[in-house]
A = this chain, B = another copy of it.
Amino acid sequence: MDHLVESSLMGLDSHGILRLPDYVNLVLSGRVQPGGALRVVRESAVTALVDCGFNFGQVTARRMTDMACDKAALSGLGCVASQNGMHIGRVGAYVQQAALRGFVAIGMVNGPLSSQRVLPFGGRDPRLSTNPIAFGAPTAGDPIMLDMATCAMPEGKVRLAMQQGKTLPDDVLVDADAQPTHDPSLLYAKSPGALLPLGGPLFGYKGYGLSMMVEVLAGLLGGASAPSPQRYHNGFWILALDPDVFCGRERFDEVVNEMVAHLRSSTPLDPTQPVRIAGEPEFRRKREREVTGIPVAAETWRLILEAGARVGVAVAW
């Protein structure tokens, strides 16, 4: 629940409290099985493969991140991969969690056959999920927190554009005949369109290649088969590194803050928009919304109350 609220506070509404009714339905339908313990399938001082047992992804991903950080604290590195994991929400949350504990972290997420809506570069049949990459690092201020889909635009933003009646930019979507389109509703047509990898017609091999990397680390290392129907929702992979075993904590803190200042010192193209560090807009939005509150559409609120009623939870407001 705090994962959803924080996502909404950070302005990442598509991964926020909007999802609450979906999660209630997942529990009622038995797809998510709350409360199960992580089962360790294989473990070493620095690695683990865990079976998430279809528990809430936010719960298991947070525990996996703590496992990776605990290992990194003892041995310099920690790396944990998953099986049978459900939807983990925004992957940036976990690299942020690791960075707040003082670690540098990379997180990646894949999805099963049923969520493969992204075309390989040069292909017309989708073969990959939006396969996001996240990166986190501690600084003297907020952590660096990158969270990006390896397709041009993640599905949630296409859905939002459709709901808001907006058109999409170039190089985001093709229709069922692999023709470029700006109409977001075509992703949800009876013959659905498909998302394009990051990079457009010239550099799309880069988004495609990054997605392949995510598929190997977040999916295959956990033993998931890309072409076979499977019940899991997200394969999650997290790596935590302790700067202390490399240049040392003190030096790292010095150079990371130098780098942040160096990047920010680039004259902005738009004088009202200073150059930002990855995650900075989200942390700023969080501080704003902690004061002003989270704007919630009437329909979203109605669905949340309804979901509460279905499970006998009175929502106070």
Contact = CB atoms under 8 A, between A and B. Distances in A.
Contacts of A44: 75-76, 245
B266 A247 contact: no
A269 B178 contact: yes
A125 B266 contact: yes
A36 interface: no
Given A104-B221, A216-B137, A246-B221, A79 B81 contact: no
Interface in A39-82: 42, 44-47, 49, 75-77, 79, 81
Contacts of A275: 120-123, 127
Contacts of A135: 209-210, 212-213, 216
A2 interface: no
Nearest to A227: B262
A111 interface: no
Contacts of A258: 225-228
A267 to B, nearest CB: 5
Q: How many copies does the complex hold?
A: 2
Contact of A124 (B125, B144, B266): B266
B227 A259 contact: yes
Interface stretch (A23-31, A158-166, A249-257, A300-308): A249-257
A259 B216 contact: yes
A5 interface: no
Contacts of A153: 203
A299 interface: no
Interface in A194-218: 198-200, 202-203, 205-206, 208-210, 212-213, 215-217
A12 interface: no
A152 B171 CA distance: 15
B144 A212 contact: yes
A93 interface: no
How big is chain A's contact interface, by range?
Answer: 35 or more
Contacts of A45: 45, 75
A238 to B, nearest CB: 12
Nearest to A83: B247
A121 B264 CA distance: 10
A108 to B, nearest CB: 10
A225 B259 CA distance: 7
A144 B241 CA distance: 25
Which of A76, A265, A268 has the most chain B CB atoms inside 10 A of its CB?
A: A76
21 contacts: A79-B241, A83-B247, A120-B263, A120-B275, A121-B275, A122-B270, A124-B267, A124-B268, A125-B265, A127-B262, A127-B266, A133-B210, A135-B213, A198-B198, A220-B255, A220-B259, A223-B246, A225-B255, A226-B259, A227-B261, A239-B239
Which 6 residue pairs are nearest across A and B when measured between Cβ atoms? A123-B266, A223-B247, A146-B209, A227-B262, A221-B246, A123-B275
